[in-house]
Amino acid sequence: MSSSIVSRTDHSFTLQIEASVSHENMLVIEDNLQQALNEGSRLLKELDAAELPRKTTALIEKRHRAVTYLKNNLS
């Protein structure tokens, strides 16, 4: 059983999961699917946490450039 984020944009992501369906019991299959989905959710949260500093830095730089532009062009 595995999960991976195949692609991601600002508005969506594609999650690929692999879960065993070798059991005839549907409850076991559903449990395997749920575990794979939970793993995908954990991966997405880790990815977001890793990108937060980069996004924050980019936002600060954009604001700084905007303030500099306004100071230079409105003074």
pLDDT at residue 65 in the model: 85
Phi, psi values for residue 25, rounded to 5°: -80, 115
Percent of the chain whose predicted confidence (pLDDT) is above 90: 0
Region 3-14 average pLDDT: 78
Distance, in Å, from the CA atom of 62 to the CA atom of 13, rounded to the nearest integer, reads 25
Locate all alpha helices (DSSP H) within the chain, ordered by sequence.
26-74
Taking the domains of the chain in order of start, what are their residue ranges? 2-74
Give per-residue pLDDT as tens, 25-54: 888 888 888 888 888 888 888 877 777 777
Q: In sequence order, what are the residues at sequence separation of 6 or more whose Cβ sits closer than 8 angstroms to the Cβ of residue 15? A: 3, 4, 5, 6, 37, 40, 43, 44
What's phi and psi for 2, nearest 5 deg? -150, 160
